[in-house]
Amino acid sequence: MNFNDIIEKRRSINFFDPQKDVSQKDLTRMIELAGNTPSSFNLQPWNLMVLRNPEEKERLKKAAWDQPKVAEAPVVLIVLADKKGWQEGHPVFEKNWEKMLEAGSMESAQREWFLNATQSLYNWSPDANLAFAAKNAGFFAMSLMYAATSLGLETHPMDGFDHNGVQKEFKIPDNYWIPLLLAVGYKKKDLELTPPKWRKTYDEIVVSF
């Protein structure tokens, strides 16, 4: 499938086949393909919780407007955006620093510069922490959807859920914000898709001030 086909084929699927499971091989491939997503300083401030267990999905559904697809899809991902992913001492921050030294794209003497850069960009207010996490995890989520389509899987993104309720129910630490849930699976047999939704045109997207 070329990329144009992937973009045009991806749809939000409301009704999943609960009998057709997603193999761990496909799920791993989908997640690792999406791992190629670009991020601020390559900090990759995203994580996923993978829910397959019916009891867990039922608990999530209760906090997600009771949307049936949360229980029907064989896999539901809780996408997590790490508001502290820019912080000195964070394991990914430190791994990234080591990798940059190894690759020669930074030198030890630049550590102070790097700390100041991430601080000044992503820690000037709580909103900046959130924006850092949300934009990067949002790009990652989009990659997950396209990666799924490329593997013949269907998805449905959802922000119709009680954020704090999900955070509490699944004991998700405070450094995370949850941009969306992502149902993954296969379309229910014989489900007729509605025509694609309208989209803004070039002229509606491009503005000048």
Ligand X SMILES: Cc1cc2nc3c(=O)[nH]c(=O)nc-3n(C[C@H](O)[C@H](O)[C@H](O)COP(=O)(O)O)c2cc1C
In the complex, which residues of this chain contact ligand X (CB under 6 A)? Answer: 11-12, 67, 157-160, 180, 197
The CB-of-15 to ligand X minimum distance in angstroms stands at 11
- Pick 74 or 157: Cβ nearer ligand X: 157
The CB-of-197 to ligand X minimum distance in angstroms stands at 4
- Pick 25 or 197: Cβ nearer ligand X: 197
The CB-of-129 to ligand X minimum distance in angstroms stands at 20
- Number of helices and strands in the chain (H, E): 9, 4
The CB-of-156 to ligand X minimum distance in angstroms stands at 6
The CB-of-178 to ligand X minimum distance in angstroms stands at 11
- Pick 197 or 200: Cβ nearer ligand X: 197
CA 186, CA 39: separation in Å to the nearest integer?
29
Residue nearest to ligand X (CB): 160
CA 157, CA 181: separation in Å to the nearest integer?
6
Count other C-beta atoms under 10 Å from residue 55's C-beta.
8
The CB-of-88 to ligand X minimum distance in angstroms stands at 31
- Pick 30 or 92: Cβ nearer ligand X: 30
Count other C-beta atoms under 10 Å from residue 65's C-beta.
11
- Pick 14 or 110: Cβ nearer ligand X: 14
Burial 15-52 (b: 16+ CB within 10 A, else e): bbbbeeebeeebbebbbebbeebebbbebbbbbbbebe
Q: If we measure between CA atoms, which residue out of 192, 191, 190, 182 comes closest to residue 74?
A: 182
- Pick 48 or 101: Cβ nearer ligand X: 48
169, with CB counted inside 10 A (0-12, 13-18, 19+), is: middle
